[in-house]
Amino acid sequence: MIVHAYYGGRSIVEVARELNIPEGTVKSRLHYGLRALRLALQKKKVTR
């Protein structure tokens, strides 16, 4: 989701259509994916 939305520059609606999944699923996967990424970077002391 992160690659499609952020690096691909697509909206949630576009990602949902492209992957044929509900918009809510895209939103939740983005949320949890970004949270996991943030925690991993904090653990490696890359960010606060």
CB of 33 closer than 8 Å to CB of 1: yes
> Residue 22: left (phi > 0), alpha (psi -120 to 50), or beta?
beta
- Enter the pTM of the model: 0.81
Task: Please report the pLDDT score of residue 4 as a whole number.
Answer: 92
pLDDT one-digit tens code per residue, 16-38: 999 999 999 999 999 999 999 99
State the Rg of the chain over Cα. 12
CB of 19 closer than 8 Å to CB of 11: no
Q: In the numeric block, which tokens belong to residue 2? A: 């992160």
